[in-house]
Structure 1
């Protein structure tokens, strides 16, 4: 797994719900512990976000052994009126593609040798 960035204070462009959904889109069998690490959240916060997403029909899961397999509803429309008509699939196509593109970038030069 890639190195997790340092925590950030202040406002950001994405909500924690969008971050969790993007991580699940990248790996439908990801563990809550790993979601929490990638999103810089507590496991309890991730569980609450997953419950929110499931309650509103954006996400479902099936139990497989000791883990879960998640299913995202790609045609579900985003909640805010400003995003009227924008689907989860459209949002995730931007976020997941960005992650794929970033993994192809060279590591930043930190100046150390």
Structure 2
């Protein structure tokens, strides 16, 4: 699969829930199998994360045939008190890039 990052061990800055949400934001019709491969998680873990996100109102889906179409609630406030006032949209603005931005290195401010 093109664009799939190499596996990683050790700690990371981004949680699995945020990675799954970002993958869905990139493609609302993506399949659990594709999310799992991209996020380096099992399909079972992705299904559990999607269930968590739906249960708490961050995500919903509609089923059309064999395809799920996910809908993210961008105005939903993040759960942790340290992120009080931040919304899903603000989180996704950090994690999801426009296609045109993917080829450019990130700007570093000093």
- Please say whether Structure 1 and Structure 2 have the same fold, judged by a TM-score greater than 0.5: yes
Give the alignment's Cα RMSD to 1 decimal.
1.7
- How far off its partner does 1:65 sit? 0.9
3-state DSSP of counterpart to 1:69? strand
Structure 2 gap segments, 5+ residues each: 106-110
Change (3 A) 1:58 1:11: same
3-state DSSP of counterpart to 2:44? helix
Superposition map of 1:14-29 within 5 A: 14-29=14-29
Taking structure 1 as the reference length, what is the TM-score of the superposition? Answer: 0.86
For residue 3 of structure 2, what is the aligned residue in structure 1?
3
For residue 49 of structure 2, what is the aligned residue in structure 1?
49
3-state DSSP of counterpart to 2:96? helix
- How far off its partner does 1:51 sit? 0.2
For residue 61 of structure 2, what is the aligned residue in structure 1?
61
Taking structure 2 as the reference length, what is the TM-score of the superposition? Answer: 0.89
Higher share of residues assigned helix: 1
The number of aligned residues is 105
- Greater Rg over alpha carbons, structure: 1
